[in-house]
Amino acid sequence: MTFEVVQIGNCLRFLLDGKVAYETTFDQKIFGKVGFTAGQGVMRLRNFEAQGNTYNLDWQRS
């Protein structure tokens, strides 16, 4: 399964396997930290990649 977050103008889309799972208006210039949680299940991230105009964040594991 693939997970993507795509911003086009002020529209932010969350896609699962290329299909829109959630869409919202996003008027901010900066998209902050991204996190994943499995809840009570198990999740394995086999590959994680970020593309676009990225910037450094102060990062601490929570």
Q: What is the pLDDT of residues 6-44, one digit of tens each?
A: 888 899 999 999 999 999 999 887 777 777 888 888 988
> What is the predicted pLDDT for the residue at 52?
81
> What is the predicted pLDDT for the residue at 62?
64
SS3 content of the chain, % helix, strand, coil (to 5): 0, 30, 70
Torsion of CA 58, 27, 10, 32, to 10 degrees: 10
> What is the predicted pLDDT for the residue at 14?
92
Query: Are the CB atoms for 15 and 8 separated by under 8 Å?
Result: no
